A = this chain, B = another copy of it.
Amino acid sequence: MSGRLTLSLDAMGGDHAPDIVLKGVQIARTRHPDVRFLLHGDEAVLGPMLARDRTLADACEIRHADGVVGNDEKPSQALRRGRDSSLWKAIQAVKDGEAAGMVSAGNTGAFMAMAKLSLRTLPGIDRPAMAALMPTQRGDLVMLDLGANAECDTDNLVQFAIMGEVFARTVLGLEQPNIGLLNIGTEDQKGTETLRQTSAILRDSTLPIRFHGFVEGDDIGKGTVDVVVTDGFTGNVALKAIEGTSKLYSSFMRRAFESSIISRIGYLMVRTAVNKVRARVDPRRYNGAMFLGLNGIAVKSHGGTDAVGFANAVCVAVDLGTHGFNETIKGEFMKVQRASGLDPETLERAANG
């Protein structure tokens, strides 16, 4: 991997694959012309597509995979029967050191299960979490878990808090990010027993993190904290509810600008500024959630995204790979663990053994 960065892509995963994968690579290459891509998927389909575009073909190498993991396959099914799939093979390329990271828009549950089995979790991490940036009134924040673990216990949430903290320091460059735990009220007695216990641990522990306390759904848009920690069910619903609201607002604005001749003329004058806002809240801009806590860079693209969104997910993986992010997060995570008095080896055995 010396010199050029190589990324491994699941060319067949997602609702509109492989079309958006190849178009996404084209877009991503305008930002990162030097990156090489391993395209995992059906050679009979991918070959002719690549043949039509010489510059794209030069940057890509097809790695044939017979199978595709379907969107409705259970993780356990995918693990048993999916060893010839484009998703599994894309992950293997990272494990084998052929690629600095990988991206898939495929089945989230299968992706998570395969990535965990193949790449294994970092010492002290039971389950990886999906993390991504979200727009707020005060810049971006990190939210996790966005859907990898529908149900989480106290240990999981504490681990997510630590990983989110390190992610915010590394990716957002914050010195002391503050961490909020998503709840339905900010008072101590609010929410589930799991949340109250997690809050008590984060508040009283010797972990070197800044715990803000509980935050509510509207604190995401406000940017009250730098890291929002939640279980994968709540995080996924919140993420998609936010995306849906952005689209709703955009569609209302579009109709408003078209509602009269005066507003059509006015729109010509505000268009540049309005388009900046649209770009700022565009869910595609935030596409590409990283599985935190694995020995390797694995980025999940939204399954229904288009080429622009997939290109953003590719750029997330490129950024993380270029900056050796996973080595940093691993080192930082070990430091946090040592500071907390936990023994990484014991934790590793518990997590992986």
Contacts and interface: CB of A to CB of B under 8 A. Distances in A.
Interface of A: 71-72, 74, 108-109, 135-137, 147, 150-151, 182, 184-185, 187-192, 216-222, 230, 232-234, 236-249, 251-253, 256-257, 259-260, 262-263, 265-274, 276-277, 280-281
A192 B150 contact: yes
A319 B182 CA distance: 34
6 smallest CB-CB distances across A and B, nearest first, come from A266-B269, A217-B240, A221-B244, A218-B244, A256-B273, A217-B241
A182 to B, nearest CB: 6
Count copies of this chain in the complex. 2
Contact of A270 (B230, B251, B257, B272): B257
Contact of A233 (B147, B184, B251): B184
A244 B217 contact: yes
A216 B271 CA distance: 31
15 contacts: A71-B187, A137-B248, A217-B240, A217-B241, A218-B241, A221-B245, A233-B234, A242-B242, A245-B245, A245-B281, A248-B281, A252-B277, A252-B280, A256-B274, A266-B267
B233 A151 contact: no
A272 B263 contact: yes
Main secondary structure, interface of A, reads: helix
Contacts of A277: 249, 252-253, 256
B262 A269 contact: yes
A39 B184 CA distance: 28
B218 A72 contact: no
B240 A237 contact: no
A45 B334 CA distance: 58
Contacts of A239: 217
A237 B216 contact: yes
Contacts of A263: 269-270, 272-273
A268 B247 CA distance: 24
A55 B246 CA distance: 42
A269 to B, nearest CB: 3
Contacts of A220: 241, 244-245
Nearest to A108: B185
A260 B232 contact: no
A95 to B, nearest CB: 27
A218 B191 contact: no
Given A241-B220, A270-B267, A191 B256 contact: no
Contact of A274 (B218, B233, B244, B253): B253
A111 B188 CA distance: 18
A177 B39 CA distance: 45
Given A217-B238, A237-B216, A240-B217, A72 B276 contact: no
Given A260-B273, A263-B270, A269-B269, A150 B184 contact: yes
Contact of A74 (B150, B189, B253, B256): B189
A64 B276 CA distance: 54
A212 to B, nearest CB: 16
Contacts of A230: 237
B241 A136 contact: no
Contact of A218 (B247, B251, B266): B247
A309 to B, nearest CB: 14
